[in-house]
Amino acid sequence: MTGADDRLKVLVIGALGKMGRAVCDAVSDEPDLELAAVVDAAGREVVWAGPAAAAAAYVSLDECLEKEKPDVAVDFTTPGAAFENVTACLKKGINCIVGTTGIKEHQLKQIELECRLSGASCLIAPNFAIGAVLMMDIAQVVARYMPFCEITELHHDQKLDAPSGTALRTAEMIAAARLDCPEPPGPEGNVARGLAHHGIPIHSVRLPGLVAHQEIIFGGQGQTLTVRHDSISRQSFMPGVVMAVRRVASLDGLAVGLEKIM
């Protein structure tokens, strides 16, 4: 039986967003976790509700970090805000989990440096759905034998970045797995063929009614093979988030991808 003093204290940043609310619910449902504090700039205009209403609530992360001492911070905000939020938490020695996509390469290097300086750990995952991680692993296996492929990713119309972080990560993993593959006929410069990332076309769809979906179509001589994953609700991400909260402290510095703790 986990005592109250043994529970991991969790801070959720972006707690009033759709993913933030789902994370608050998921953390509150776990007996070994405590939703200790929540932060959201919209807190001035929006009424805190659900588990977030019982936690210490702030509109300023700086004020929160002055008063609270969480073990883990979970960020689902925006690319611009997430980088500043994470560096602020790491400087305080707080382990971080980031579900916000769109963080730049130079920012990742700075986050890695902050991890080394503070001794804290950070996990950045483009997708917390365990099935999506398995999809990417399967794609790497297929790519060794069928190296030519294209990716289509479909998300809700409120998603800020395109292509998605999952699609970009998938393309990088496929490119690393391909053996002696000549560069595919280039889609560069041909918008109808999608954005090329590591030579792999990525097509982005943004529509109401969608949550998060991705398929990779591999083509070979006389055959195709499609690998697809669908998140039909945001609940699909919560087992991965909870796993990350429990395991992030075991990481050595910065890690990218949920597979690093699976």
Distance spanning both ends of the chain, measured CA to CA = 24
Please give the full DSSP string across 190-231, using - where no structure is assigned.
-GGG-EEETTEEEEEEE-TT--EEEEEEEEETTEEEEEEEEE
Active site residue 203: no
Helix (H) or strand (E) holding 198: none
Active site residue 91: no
Best CA proximity match to 256, nearest among 133, 126, 138, 110: 126
Q: Which of 92, 156, 159, 260 is catalytic?
A: 159
Query: What letter does residue 33 receive in the DSSP assignment?
Result: E
3-state SS class at 151: strand
Q: Which of 155, 197, 203, 229 is catalytic?
A: 155
CA distance 39 to 62: 10
- Mind telling me the catalytic residues? 155, 159
